[in-house]
Structure 1
Amino acid sequence: MRVDGRDISVTGSLLQPLTRRTNEILRVVLSAAFLAVVITSSLITRNDWVALERSVSEIIGVLTPTQSNLVYLAYGVAILALPFVILVQLVIGRHWTLLAAYAAAGVLAVLALSISGRGIAAPQWHFDLRDRLDTQLSQFLDDPRWIALLAAVLTVSGPWLSRRLRRYWWALLLAFVPIHLVVSAVVPARSLLGLAVGWFVGALVVWVVGTPALEVPLDGAVRALTRRGFVVSALAVIRPPGPGPLVLAATGPETTAVVELYGPNQRSGGALSQLWRKFRLRTDETAPLQASMRRVVEHRALMAIAIDDLGLSNISSVTVSALDRGWTLYARKPARGTPLSAHAAPVADVWQALHTLHRGQIAHGDLCRDEITVHDGQVQFGGFDNAEYGATDAQLQSDIAQLLVTTSAMYDPASAVSAAIDAFGRETVLTASRRLTKTAVPARIRDSVTDAKAVIAAAREQVQHQTGADKITTETITRFTRVQLIQLVLLVALVYVAYPFISTVPAFFDELGNANWWWALLGLAVSALRYLGAAGALWACADGLVRFRHLAIMQVANTFAATTTPAGVGGLALSTRVLQKGGLSTMRATAAVALQQSVQVMVHVLLLILFTAIAGTSANLQHFVPSATVLYLVAGVALGVVGGFLAVPNLRRWLASAVRPKLQEVKTDLWELSREPKRLGLIVLGAAGTTLGSALALWASIEAFGGDTSFVTVTVVTMIGGTLASAAPTPGGVGAVEAALIGGLAAFGVPAAVAVPSVLLYRVLTCWLPVFVGWPVMRWLTRNDMI
């Protein structure tokens, strides 16, 4: 490379990889939204557009047909040459591998507007303007397919072109709007459609193939270094461009420097990351937003200068400069010293260095081992991407927590915590240790140590031990916690599942006036058997290691969690969590819940067979039996799923590695359970009590409205409704349960005037009342650290 008469050698690859950056994704989203708006507005206001176009054509028709053709001739020559000029530029620039994207965008844009009901043809919805545009060139330029082609190839080739050329080409393309006004051939809907389709196709092609390599302005970087008195004689690539900057080693007559070049496509990701942090973290947890990549680089350079004044920086800034085509240069001296290790410096020196940094009201923000070095016995820091001058207390506490993790992994937790207390004091370290959580410790710190979870736990334990604290409360650093998100989802789901019920409330309340409330109260009382039975079965499955009282209370909250989540997964998760908090390991708690569910299913099936046999064959059960078509369809889908799992290697491995061991565990637990008759009997009784409690509640509800049916019949209907509830995709089986119960009661001869209000009352007693009571109960369990 020759710059200002000097030959400078460059070694290494400067070609940037094809990547799908954030701005490409945003372009696709914006172009799709613009296309949707154009199509929607054109369909909705089609007649108005036609009338408007005709009226504008009559008002602004100032040119004669001959003049219109001359204007179109001048514009047509330029617009016809545009794609070929771009093509020649790409060929001259030797972008061979990316010419396919250029061609694909043009072809797709033309085809998208050429497809009609009769095949591929020109669109027919525009006006016949032969009275004003009677030449072949003018008619060709008026075709929206040509506008779409130009917009597509301009979008695709934009990253290869300079900013000035891009502006010129887009201005030339958009000139068709004033041209149409001058010649009085206004067709805005057609023109906007072509522009929207072309932009969307081009954006989609760029996103699929990735952003092409941009030319690196090395000559500008060399000149910027020369202005600072650093004469470059050679450049060598240290790290190729990619997610981070392009890093080069610049060699001068007497010294070397590290040159970091940040491309223009790195801005959007940084901006989105900052916005996400602002949205997710509390105000005092984040630094001020940076307006551009240049401001981010300048901030890093200034922080290096400020920390170097304290004698704690292992780098020295050389220059920051804005280069052509949106690039930013940051040059610095190479990092001094050797990487920190247990033998390079005592752990106390590391903490004293951080204490000195904090006395200057500076937070580092990235205290992983790679950013700490030792030079002439002095601990120094590097990086400074997340450093902040005038840091808040939260940022300073985050530094202490990060260094606790790093030094605990490099030395040992006891010595790391002891050195931290010597440097900062007991109360400061105790306060900062509240941030020793997965959420508060940044991912880059966790990734820099081995087994970060164990290291964080060991550091917290040592802080608690050495400070004498009874308990370290977790610091909330986010605007919303995971528990709050789960609760919000559950509340939304609750509103969703309650909506169908709300529509039937007026008619239901009209029927309540004729109900026998003593039977309703009896139904509410016997429905409690479900909670006692489920709690007893789970208590026996957990070997009595968790208090029965807590499990019984949990069953009320379990109704809320199970009803507001599809397939009741929330209830299973809540049960497992309560057992974990009760002292069981994760594996043991999961096994206990799986064992209870397995016994529950078997008892449910056995009771269903038993009561169906007792009910006899006189009842009409066709309401419960699907049609032959549905059965064949279900069987075909099931066979297809089984075949897919057997044919795909990854699915077979998943069955062998994940599903089979769990089934084996349940089988082993059931076998061991069969050797303990008392425990097995308690679990079976609990499972039976859960099923029979629901049946008793429905039977009492039917009696409340004057129904006359046997308990055996109600039990069969209840169990079939429960089976449908577990298979229905809606949370709590809303809709499916009500329909199954009403249809089942009708099949056994219960009048609809009795069946409908009875089922609604039953659902109120066993579903909706427990759901609304379960919400505060779950919050009580949360406050008492039981879930």
Structure 2
Amino acid sequence: MLQPLIRRTNDILRLALSGIFLLIVVTSSLITRYEWETLERSISEIIGVLTPTQSNTVYLIYGVAIFALPFVILIGLIASRQWKLLGAYAAAGLIALLLLSITGNGIAAPRWHFDLSDRLDTVLSQFLDDPRWIAMLAAVLTVSGPWLPARWRHWWWALLLAFVPIHLVVSAVVPARSLLGLAVGWFVGALVVLVVGTPALEVPLDGAVRAMARRGFTVSALAVLRPAGRGPMLLSARRDPGDGDEARAAVVELYGPHQRGGGFLRQFWRKVRLRDSETAPIQPSMRRAVEHRALMAIAVGDLALSNTTPIAVAALERGWTLYAHHPAAGLDLPRCTDTTPVARVWDSLAMLHSQQISHGDLRAKEITVVEGTPMFGGFAHAEYGASEAHLHTDIAQLLITTSDLYGAEDAVAAAITVFGNEAVLAASRRLTKVAMPKRVRDAVSDAGSVMAAARDEVKSQTGADQITTATITRFTRNQIIQMVLLVALVYVAYPFISSVPVFFSELRNANWWWALAGLAVSALKYVGAAAALWACADGLVKFRTLTIMQVANTFAATTTPAGVGGLALSTRFLQKGGLGALRATTAVALQQSVQVLTHITLLVFFSAAAGASADLSQFVPSTTVIYLIAGAALGAVGVFLIVPKLRRWLGSSLRPRLKEVIDDLVVLAREPKRLAVIILGCATTTLGSALALWASIEAFGGDVNFVTVTIVTMVGGTLASAAPTPGGVGAVEAALIGGLAAFGVSAAVAVPAVLLYRILTCWLPVFLGWPIMRWLTRKQMI
């Protein structure tokens, strides 16, 4: 009957808070240990107004109290006959003592006293100053506190925490160490409480029986229908046969304090995540939440649409809350689909909405049929004076439920007959995974196909061209990902931010004509990429919009690792342009394949050209490194050939894809004009970047030939594709600056030139790419 560990919300929160407190104390002690000691000495000197005799007297009295405290707690447990708690009491105390006794030489008592001759030096003071004793006290207080009277617990915690001011006034021990003991003890006690439990886990069944008796329902028997867990404890109650002819049975729901904590956390998360129009006011009290549910049952009962009536709502001992009601009348809707028309179900919902009442949980099990009239139960998510958003959510939920039971065509037709085209069309915008609660989606066999069928049927019967998804959240998953990536970009780019002052000081002396030339030639990248993709797509999309899309592609590629966002955006653009999903994916894969081949060919060509006029030895790894790389490659090939799963993956997944790319290249080789356009476009992409870097170097007075710059640019581009950071931020800058330095370009020229190049080819297109991507979205191009 007790709740499992993973559902004890209050105990989990206590453990989490104690862990955070312990982490803060340990971290602050390690980082600012000297400052702590200096501060504590200064405070002790300022407020230490007691004479040595007075200090020793206070110290002695407090020491006696602290020394006696665990024994008083133990006597209190024995007096209250908490026999099963004695083991937890002893375990918490011993664990806390041992944790602070472990040193590099084994188990020993730490020595943290200052060398002062006028302090009280007794065995009792050693207990008072030893943080292990404080840890043990905090642990046993945490474990036993919930089982003892609140007044005792409050006084004992106040006595324990008094060690901080008393230590500052009269003690020679560092209070920071006692804080460590307090943190360790609280954490150990919270962990033991989670395992052992608290009195809140004891179900007050006697209080529930008395509360129902006060409402005229004398319970003669109770049976557990469902133990406590994610939801309330569910019991069936039978009344005394001599109490008249009223209903004999009742359903008893008992909500523990853990449901209250978990319920509040779920409400708070919904409030943070969803917009105000989508959420109800937060009810941190479980009693208020249960009262709301009972009152909604009464309100719906006045419309003769509630299949249950409340019996009693009461607050019980140890934080439990009672909600007793009569069992749901009638038969479940799935058992009455043959005899109950779907229009009757929608008529019942329309009657609720006429009184501005939303149900919020229109699963099939919450709808029963009583003498041909569909009625509702549950009401945990019902709202009186509901907003338009709640009413539309009701319609969307009932669309899913009735489409699953009656079919999408009949369900949508009945909904339109009752609510009209506009309301159903507006509600159908919520037929998405995000807008539809998980409990409703799990109640149908295949929620995805049911929602898709309902949306298609709404479009068919209302004549709508498309149904725009409703935005119900304050933020989307994509926005969170973009925020994380933005933080990662700033973190990775931080080392180069220190070069910004130097960059701006050098910028005043730069040749702006060369900078403008670099900006102009950097545009060749987008024209070349657009031309290559246009030829790969057989010219089925407009070249102009494809070129504009390449700027947005820069934003998508930079904000995602390895540029996967750019590939996804290109595929989506081609799909919106009329290509099928397979054809669009093939076109993008073909362009990337030719781009890689062209890049390698240009790298070999320019390396050979640069070899005659420049020293490339700094780019050639040593023989040992080459052997290691070759050995690792051969080892990887051997692993793939030996391991059966990897070998099957090579044969079933990788091989067909490679064969498809090779077949596309063979077909492309038979079309010289198209092949020439793709190769020229890919080459223009690479050479445009090289020209932009060369112009940036010339803008700062550098003197390096174009062949050398091309080699450095292609090496930087290779690192950008391999680096895990978005857009290769950090890796590209370091590679370009290092490559230019290897060819004799001074740091005074290389650093500002590379920063200017990255502004022209990366950061400026990123800032322009966001509004362009939004424009493409509005134009339904992506």
Q: Does residue 664 in structure 1 map to residue 656 in structure 2?
A: yes
Distance in 1 between residues matched to 2:89 and 2:278, nearest whole Å: 45
Letter in 1 for 2:726: P
Distance 1:318 1:130, change over 3 A: farther
Tell me the CA shift for residue 490 of structure 1.
Answer: 5.8
* Cα-to-partner distance string for 1:189-218 (whole Å, 9 max, x where unaligned): 343332122113333555688889821111
Does structure 2 conserve the Cα–Cα contact (< 8 Å) formed by 1:16 and 1:212? Answer: no
Map 1:334-733 → 2, pairs under 5 A: 334-341=327-334, 342-482=337-477, 484-485=479-480, 488-489=483-484, 492=487, 503-508=498-503, 511=506, 519-584=514-579, 586=581, 589-616=584-611, 619-625=614-620, 661=653, 664-677=656-669, 678=671, 680-704=675-699, 709-733=704-728
Residue in 2 that maps onto 1:238? 225
Report percent identity of matched pairs: 66
Partner in structure 2 of residue 219 of structure 1: 206
Query: 1 CA distance for matches of 2:695 and 2:119?
Result: 84
Q: CA deviation at 1:319?
A: 0.3
CA distance in 1, matches of 2:504, 2:62: 76
Give the SS at the match of 2:294.
Answer: helix
Number of residue-to-residue matches in the alignment? 767
> Which range is displaced more, 739-748 or 712-721?
739-748
Cα 1:581/1:212, change in 2 over 3 Å: farther
Instruction: Tell me whether 1:293 sits opposite 2:280 in the alignment.
Output: no
Q: Matches of residues 135-150 of structure 1 in structure 2 within 5 Å?
A: 135-150=122-137
Pair 1:563–1:140, CA change in 2 (3 A) = same
Deviates more, 1:493-502 or 1:325-334: 493-502
Listed one character per residue, the Cα deviations across residues 67-124 of structure 1 (whole Å, up to 9, x for unaligned) are: 965764465334235358659989723x79xx5x666543442233224455432221
Mean Cα deviation higher: 516-525 or 182-191: 182-191
1:17 matched to 2:12: no
Whole-angstrom CA distance in 2 between matches of 1:554 and 1:62: 84
Change (3 A) 1:691 1:182: closer
Matched, 1:228 2:215: yes
Distance 2:292 2:155 in 1: 34
Taking a change above 3 Å as real, the CA distance of residues 316 and 656 of structure 1, as seen in their structure-2 partners, is: farther
Give yes or no for the alignment of 1:191 onto 2:178. yes
Where does residue 332 of structure 1 map in the other structure? Answer: 325
Paired with 2:499 and 2:396, the residues of 1 have a C-alpha distance of 56
Per-residue Cα deviation, 1:307-354 (whole angstroms, up to 9, x for no partner): 111111111111011111111111111111111123241110000000
Q: Which moved more, 1:115-124 or 1:330-339?
A: 115-124
For residues 300-319 of structure 1, the aligned pairs below 5 Å read 300-319=293-312
Q: Identify the residue that residue 244 of structure 2 maps to in structure 1.
A: none
Match 1:202 to one of 179, 189, 194: 189
Q: What is the alpha-carbon distance in structure 1 between the residues aligned to residue 147 and residue 231 of structure 2?
A: 20
Asked whether the equivalents of residues 702 and 749 of structure 2 are also in contact (C-alpha less than 8 Å), the reply is yes
Q: Aligned-pair distance for 1:57?
A: 5.1
Deviation at 1:19, TM superposition (A): 2.1
After TM superposition, the structure 1 stretch with the greater mean CA deviation from structure 2, 504-513 or 261-270, is 504-513
1:348/1:125 Cα in 2 relative to 1: closer, same or farther (>3 Å)? same
In the alignment, what sits opposite 2:239? 252
CA deviation string 1:402-439 (max 9, x = no partner): 11121112112221121112212222222322322322
Q: Following the alignment from structure 1 to structure 2, what is the Cα–Cα distance between the partners of residues 596 and 87?
A: 80
* Partner of residue 11, structure 1: none
**Alpha carbons of 1:665 and 1:544: their partners in 2 closer, same or farther (altered >3 Å)?**
farther
Coordinate RMSD, CA, aligned:
3.8
Corresponding residue of 1:59: 50
Counterpart code for 1:661 = S
State the 1:479 CA deviation: 2.3
In structure 2, C-alpha distance between the alignment counterparts of 1:765 and 1:78, rounded to whole Å: 71
Q: Which stretch of structure 1 is more off in the superposition, 554-563 or 428-437? A: 428-437
Aligned with residue 76 of structure 1, among 54, 67, 74: 67
Aligned match of 1:276 in 269, 273, 287? Answer: 269
Task: Kindly provide the amino acid, as one letter, of the partner of residue 113 in structure 1.
Answer: L
Paired residue secondary structure (2:770): helix
CA contact (8 A) 1:16 1:213 kept: no
Could you tell me how far apart the structure 2 residues matched to 1:475 and 1:108 are?
54
Aligned to 1:274, the other structure's residue is in SS state helix
Segments of structure 1 that go 5 or more residues without pairing to the other structure are: 1-13
Structure 1 residue 575, shift from structure 2 partner: 2.3
Q: Distance in 2 between matches of 1:340 and 1:28?
A: 44
The letter for the 2-side match of 1:462 is: E
Which whole-Å CA distance do the structure 2 matches of 1:636 and 1:49 have between them?
Answer: 60
Cα distance per residue 1:174-202 (max 9 Å; x no partner): 46568879987786434333212211333
Alpha carbons of structure 1 residues 204 and 67: separation in structure 2 relative to 1, 3 Å = closer
Q: Is the 8 A contact 1:365 1:398 kept in 2?
A: yes
TM-score of the two chains, using structure 2 as the length reference: 0.87
C-alpha separation between the residues in 2 aligned to 1:598 and 1:585? 20
Q: Distance in 1 between matches of 2:294 and 2:711?
A: 76
Residues 105, 152 of structure 1: 8 Å contact kept: yes
Q: CA deviation at 1:379?
A: 0.2
Q: Secondary structure at the match of 1:733?
A: coil
Inter-CA distance 712–186: structure 2 relative to 1 (3 Å threshold): closer
How far off its partner does 1:786 sit? 2.3
Q: Which amino acid aligns with 2:253?
A: E
Report the Cα offset of residue 33 of structure 1: 3.9
Q: Deviations over 1:419-467 (max 9, x none)?
A: 1122122222223223223222222212222332222222222223322
2:112 to 111, 114, 125: 125
SS, match of residue 224 in structure 2: strand
Counterpart CA distance in 2 for 1:90 and 1:195 is 27
Q: Is the 8 A contact 2:310 2:326 kept in 1?
A: yes
Q: Which residue of 1 aligns with 2:83?
A: 92
Q: Does the 8 Å CA contact 1:320/1:328 hold for their aligned counterparts?
A: yes
Change over 3 Å in CA distance of 1:212–1:784 after alignment to 2: farther
- The CA deviation at 1:304 is 0.9
Work out the CA distance in 2 between the residues paired with 1:752 and 1:187: 52
Contact 2:70 2:140 in 1 (8 A): no
Q: Is the 8 A contact 1:238 1:249 kept in 2?
A: yes
Question: Which residue, 94, 97, 102 being the options, matches 1:110?
Answer: 97
Q: Which amino acid aligns with 1:443?
A: K
What residue is the counterpart of 2:245 in the other structure?
A: none
TM-score scaled to structure 1, two decimals?
A: 0.86
Structure 2 Cα separation of the partners of residues 521 and 442 of structure 1: 54
Q: Identify the residue that residue 48 of structure 1 maps to in structure 2.
A: 39
Tell me the secondary structure at the aligned position of residue 59 of structure 1. Answer: coil
How many Å apart are 1:244 and its aligned residue? 0.8
Offset at residue 487 of structure 1 (A): 5.3
Q: Within 2, Cα distance between the matches of 1:639 and 1:526?
A: 42
